[in-house]
Amino acid sequence: MTGTLPPTLAELVDRIRAAQDELEAEIEVRRARFAYRIERRRVVFEAEMRRRHKALKAALLPYLLGVRLKVLVTAPVIYALIVPLALLDLCVSLYQAVCFPAYGIAKVRRRDHVVIDRHHLAYLNGVEKLNCVYCGYANGVIAFAREVAARTEQYWCPIKHALRVAGVHGRYAGFADYGDAEGFREDLPLLRAELAAEGQALAGGAATRG
């Protein structure tokens, strides 16, 4: 929400959003370059590009024989994290399903964050596809949980930290400054109203599509 930000911060936020738009435009250009399109959230490659991909797939047995021993030994540790990740996924989904309607907060669409599509790439062998599925799920769940937490923070404690925080979420810039008591009291109802408006906009969009 740039309406309550100082002009300099609002300008920075707008520039970040513009950069994100430019990034999406560049991705669209690269889609054409690599001959694929998106149909109903599914990636479809042109036949010639798919043939080239299959020709570049690493054979499974030589790939496995080339894996270092340290990698093999640590693999179970990496994949054991699927249990806490799945538990986090479940708990966050239940949390927002129960609490967000009570607070009037728009629910986070899980599918916008948990994206698993790289296993469709024909140049990946079975192990590489499994790795990509796992990484996509792990990072997606964390991103999903982060956005749920960010909306919760915007509702309950939209105040910037006094100390620098690395990798803040996208809502952080709109929070009240640390120590600005008047600004916090003024901004809190506006920030909560913004969350409610997001929910209404999503509901309206769903009704239109229906």
Residue 209 clears pLDDT 60, i.e. is over it = no
The verdict on residue 56 lying in a domain is: no
Instruction: Tokens for 167, please give them.
Output: 């990798």
Domains identified in the chain, total number? 1
Mean local confidence (pLDDT), 50-60:
93
Residue 205 clears pLDDT 80, i.e. is over it = no
Question: Look-up: residue for tokens 């790439």?
Answer: 121
Residue 208 clears pLDDT 60, i.e. is over it = no
The verdict on residue 28 lying in a domain is: no
Residue 122 domain boundaries: 67-208
Residue 10 clears pLDDT 80, i.e. is over it = no
Instruction: Tokens for 193, please give them.
Output: 């109203």
Tens-place pLDDT, residues 166-186:
999 999 999 999 999 999 999
d(CA 170, CA 149): 12
pLDDT at 176: 95
The verdict on residue 37 lying in a domain is: no
The verdict on residue 33 lying in a domain is: no
Long-range contacts, 138-144 (Cβ 8 Å, 24+): 138/81, 138/82, 138/85, 140/113, 140/114, 140/115, 140/116, 141/85, 141/88, 141/89, 141/92, 141/113, 141/114, 142/85, 142/88, 143/113, 143/114, 144/89, 144/92, 144/108, 144/110, 144/113, 144/114
The verdict on residue 23 lying in a domain is: no
pLDDT at 203: 62
The verdict on residue 26 lying in a domain is: no
Residue 13 clears pLDDT 70, i.e. is over it = yes
Residue 6's pLDDT band (cuts 50, 70, 90): low
* Strand-pair partners of 45: 36
In the chain, pLDDT over 70 holds for what percent of residues?
91
Tens-place pLDDT, residues 75-130:
999 999 999 999 999 999 999 999 999 999 999 999 999 999 999 999 999 999 99
pLDDT at 22: 85
The verdict on residue 172 lying in a domain is: yes
The verdict on residue 120 lying in a domain is: yes
Say what the alpha-carbon torsion angle 203, 92, 119, 61 is, to the nearest 10 degrees.
Answer: 180
Question: What are the residues whose beta carbons fall under 8 Å from the beta carbon of 187, sequence distance 6 or more?
Answer: 4, 158, 174, 175, 176
Helices (H) and strands (E) in the chain, counts: 7, 2
- The dihedral sign for the CA sequence 146, 150, 151, 156: positive
Residue 29's pLDDT band (cuts 50, 70, 90): confident
d(CA 139, CA 152): 20
